[in-house]
Structure 1
Amino acid sequence: MQALHISLLMVFPALAIVGALKDLTSYTIPNWISLALVVAFVPAALASGASLSAIGLCLAVGFAALALGVGMFAVGWIGGGDGKLLAACALWMGWPAVAPFLLCTALAGGVLTFAVLALRSGWVAPLVAGGPVWVRRLGQPGGDLPYGVAIAAGALIAFPKALLAQGVLG
């Protein structure tokens, strides 16, 4: 049973990393990634032995994060895929691990912002010009920020604190 639990838990970091890479290279996070995270949560929660009340609390956290993501999308702070990824990751975090997840995501977002600003500065432009298409696009002044990278980083850092990972990773 432990091997099954660990296998199901590894779905989370794998999909978070895929979401980050897709956002970094294409500025999109496909819906299937967030949907797969939500669907995989159920067997992972059952394999972890989480109580129905704990699973319900995780669902409440996920819905609250979805509302937050929709609000941030509405004011133009993040993209729609970012909001859905945020909610799907928050679902896996549950309570109280959602607090370190959001804090780590915000800090990773700050680091990402400074890194992209450095990439967009004049002194790095010659290096960006010879890079792959996605790097040139990322280096364009005034472009968007692939915030899915920060969400995935926050999720990976906070994941050992998540309810489902306790006793295995924590």
Structure 2
Amino acid sequence: MTIIRKLIFSPETLTLPRPLPAPQALREDENIVWTRYDGLDALRHIQAFRSHDKPINSVYRMCEFICVDAPNQLMIETEYFLYRTTWRLEEIPNPDDDHPERRALLAATIESLVDAFNEKHSFGITREGAVVAQQVCPRWVEEVPAIDRLLDLVAEHEECFDSDHQRTDPYTRRNIRAHSGTIFNF
């Protein structure tokens, strides 16, 4: 089915295609993401897509971009979320995702978004010109535990930035090693 037909007949399948892949599957085959989100840059500007999109779908997309180490797409998706002025992080409902790695990745990403948005807010950056209150995490995020084994989303030959910040980093606390700093670079 072409993107145009999906946009007309089932736009919700474009905002978050199902089934959801496991993070490690994405890391092993990044083409999965590009197949899932073919034309996403253009779709973000189309009202039919935007009206069916949800905050949690955007966060899932961010997680998938983290898995395949696509910093430009992560930055664009973060900015897309920021400028959806009616979307509040604290209002993202619990997706009840039964995959522990995906759930931990979601929670860490939401925590990072809260930190990033609050940092931008402290610098006076607004959402589409509207000053917004400090962001907070949804309650369910606090209840998401670390996963049992390390989820390493960084290639063996790549370096991952190490610092004192790592001890408090939401990904590190949940036993995830990932390039996620782009969340702060929008």
TM bucket, shorter chain: 0.3 to 0.5
TM-score by length of 2: 0.30
Larger helix percent: 1
TM-score by length of 1: 0.32
